[in-house]
Amino acid sequence: MALGLGNIWSISLTGKALWTWVIRQFHKLCDAADLPETDASNEKFVFYSLRHTWATWFSAQVGDQDRLIDRGGWSDAEMARRYRKYPTADLAVRLRAHGWEFKP
């Protein structure tokens, strides 16, 4: 049986939750990259920003809602819609131009 994401985050190698370690490393990377805490829209950049970005990019290139739900690990379309933003018409082309290719 494969572990779901909910189980992975609760695994503890040193007595501390793995999720805490992941978030701490994310903040270190943001600091090292000198990323601002908020973007131009005053939106805070958090770990889940990566999940939103992935959902939007995958959707722009693949366009298959069922695959988005499956690969994103969401239980239903409503949850996937919360993460996926509406991409510009040319997003898929621009992503491919930068080497990002999501396979169906």
pTM above 0.85, yes or no: no
Separation of alpha carbons 53 and 51, rounded Å: 5
Of 53, 45, 64, 30, nearest to 100 (Cα)?
Answer: 53
Q: What does the pLDDT read at residue 36?
A: 83
Q: Are residues 80 and 94 in the same domain?
A: yes
User: Quick one: DSSP state of residue 63?
Assistant: -
Separation of alpha carbons 27 and 69, rounded Å: 27
Q: Are residues 36 and 50 in the same domain?
A: no
Is the pLDDT at 10 greater than 60? The verdict is no
Q: Are residues 68 and 29 in the same domain?
A: no
Q: What does the pLDDT read at residue 2?
A: 36
Q: Are residues 35 and 73 in the same domain?
A: no
Q: Are residues 25 and 39 in the same domain?
A: yes
Domain that holds residue 29: 1-43
Q: What does the pLDDT read at residue 100?
A: 92
Strand (E) or helix (H) holding 27: helix 18-32
N-to-C CA span, the chain: 24
- CA separation, residue 75 to residues 21, 27, 61, 66 (Å): 26, 28, 21, 11
Q: Are residues 23 and 54 in the same domain?
A: no
Q: Are residues 34 and 53 in the same domain?
A: no
Per-residue pLDDT tens over the stretch 16-55 = 666 777 888 888 998 999 988 887 787 788 888 889 999 9
Q: Are residues 54 and 95 in the same domain?
A: yes
Q: Are residues 100 and 61 in the same domain?
A: yes
Q: Are residues 56 and 104 in the same domain?
A: yes
For the chain, the domain total comes to 2
